[in-house]
């Protein structure tokens, strides 16, 4: 009986969650002596509402916008968490390498101890931040009393009255829903286990992605090293070719000069040979003249005898 009555009670937000609740409108207090501003509670926003289906395009549009905003928030927080985890992993790896350099017989220095304490604090802070960002806000069960609620309990057990007449003057229609989901589903506390599993899956996925990226970076580094070695080898070969080309160019110039000198000498020798032939021809002609004169003289002497 108590459970059936409790299921009919509306759910109220926790005291600290009222300022973040999109379904509460706060109006300024009237000049009357009422010290507390009047709050109108429309209904609890719950993700399970979407299973009931919207009744109009406007309702569907608002529900989809709310889901999209929540998804974008989670993606942003997941990205920040991933960056923080990568940075923390790098710090832990560097710290582990420094500690591995220390001998087992020696004690840690004061600086290393302070750094380890700082890393431990950062780890705890990151854990709390990830849990606070990824886990949903807790809501007060329907049968508990909210101190900031405008509906005061009538009995002494700290329970609210089950009479619906107390809510008739305060209730207003929900601007985002035309059909109200089951109160039992709406009043159930959020399941933190699924959110913790979700955070763990995100962390595992981010770590796997980081490892994959590190593997890709290692492969890229190896490729860069090979390319640098190949580039250095090609530069050495190019330098050798340039030196060889320079030496060949110098040899070509030297051979051209020698060839020019040889051609000049050849022309000189040809001129000398031509001059010698001319002299030989002249001498031959002179010799023939002399021989003719000699024969003439001898013939004249024989005739005289």
Retrieve residue 92's tokens. 């832990």
pTM above 0.85, yes or no: no
Retrieve residue 296's tokens. 């003439």
**C-alpha span between 210 and 83 (Å, rounded):** 10
pLDDT (mean) for 173-195: 51
**C-alpha span between 115 and 280 (Å, rounded):** 111
Q: Would you place residue 105 in the very low, low, confident or very high pLDDT band (cuts 50, 70, 90)? A: low
Question: So where are the chain's domains?
Answer: 2-188
CA dist list (Å): 101 to 88, 92, 106, 116, 195: 20, 14, 11, 15, 40
End-to-end CA distance of the chain: 191
Q: What is the pLDDT of residues 2-27, one digit of tens each?
A: 444 444 444 444 444 444 444 444 54
**C-alpha span between 230 and 224 (Å, rounded):** 10
Residue 54's closest CA among 172, 142, 174?
A: 174
Q: What is the pLDDT of residues 115-146, one digit of tens each?
A: 777 777 777 777 777 666 655 544 444 444 44
Secondary structure of residue 76 in the 3-state scheme: helix
Under 8 Å between Cβ of 41 and 23: yes
Q: What is the pLDDT of residues 207-232, one digit of tens each?
A: 888 888 888 888 888 998 999 999 99
Residue 92's closest CA among 123, 50, 67, 135?
A: 123
Q: What is the pLDDT of residues 237-292, one digit of tens each?
A: 999 999 999 999 999 999 999 999 999 999 999 999 999 999 999 999 999 999 99
């Amino acid at each position: 009986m108590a459970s059936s009555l409790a299921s009919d009670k509306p759910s109220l937000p926790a005291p600290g969650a009222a300022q973040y609740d999109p379904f509460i409108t706060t109006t300024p207090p009237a000049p009357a002596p009422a010290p507390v501003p009047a709050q109108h509670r429309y209904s609890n926003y719950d993700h399970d509402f979407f299973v009931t289906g919207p009744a109009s395009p406007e309702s569907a549009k608002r529900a989809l916008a709310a889901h999209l905003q929540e998804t974008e928030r989670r993606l942003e927080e997941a990205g920040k968490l991933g960056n923080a985890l990568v940075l923390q992993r790098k710090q832990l790896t560097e710290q582990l390498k420094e500690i591995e350099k220390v001998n087992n017989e020696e004690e840690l220095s004061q600086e290393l101890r302070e750094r380890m304490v700082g890393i431990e604090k950062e780890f705890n802070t990151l854990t709390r931040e990830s849990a606070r960002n990824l886990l949903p806000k807790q809501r007060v069960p329907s049968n508990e009393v909210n101190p900031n609620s405008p509906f005061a309990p009538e009995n002494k057990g700290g329970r609210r009255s089950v009479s619906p007449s107390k809510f008739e003057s305060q209730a207003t229609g929900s601007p985002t829903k035309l059909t109200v989901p089951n109160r039992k589903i709406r009043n159930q506390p959020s399941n933190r286990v699924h959110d913790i599993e979700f955070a763990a899956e995100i962390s595992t996925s981010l770590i796997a992605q980081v490892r994959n990226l590190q593997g890709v970076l290692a492969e890229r580094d190896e490729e860069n090293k090979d390319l640098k070695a190949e580039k250095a080898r090609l530069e050495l070969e190019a330098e050798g070719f340039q030196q060889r080309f320079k030496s060949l160019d110098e040899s070509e110039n030297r051979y051209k000069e020698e060839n020019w000198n040889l051609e000049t000498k050849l022309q000189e020798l040809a001129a000398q040979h031509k001059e010698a032939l001319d002299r030989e021809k002249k001498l031959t002609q002179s010799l023939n003249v002399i021989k003719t004169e000699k024969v003439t003289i001898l013939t004249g002497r024989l005739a005289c005898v």
